[in-house]
Amino acid sequence: METIAISKFKATCLALMEKVRRTGKPILVTRKGQPVAQVVPPPPVSKPKSWLGCLSSKGKITGDIISPVCSEGEWEAFKSSKNG
């Protein structure tokens, strides 16, 4: 583990924290040779589960999904009632 004096840590704090995040190795901060603090990397970020496809296993097909819903005669009657 890398050890650094508190005065040097104060001067280079942001760069040292980025180094810890990037390398994953902690740094021990000391004052007059005595440990004062330890900078450790953050825990791994867990990505939230995507909402896409969340209902994929919930649906159920109960009938014929290919055939028309009504007969051709009913469809023609529906079309003529909309135009007139």
pLDDT tens track, the chain, 84 positions: 899 999 999 999 999 999 999 999 999 999 999 999 999 998 888 877 787 887 878 888 888 888 877 777 777 766 665 555
Sketch out the chain's domains with CATH numbers. 2-39 (3.40.1620)
Q: 49-71 b/e with 16+ CB inside 10 Å = b?
A: eeeeeeeeeeeeeeeeeeeeeee
Task: Tell me what pLDDT residue 80 has.
Answer: 64
pTM exceeds 0.85 for this model: no
Question: Residue 26 has what pLDDT?
Answer: 96
Strands 2-5 and 27-31: parallel
pLDDT at residue number 57: 82
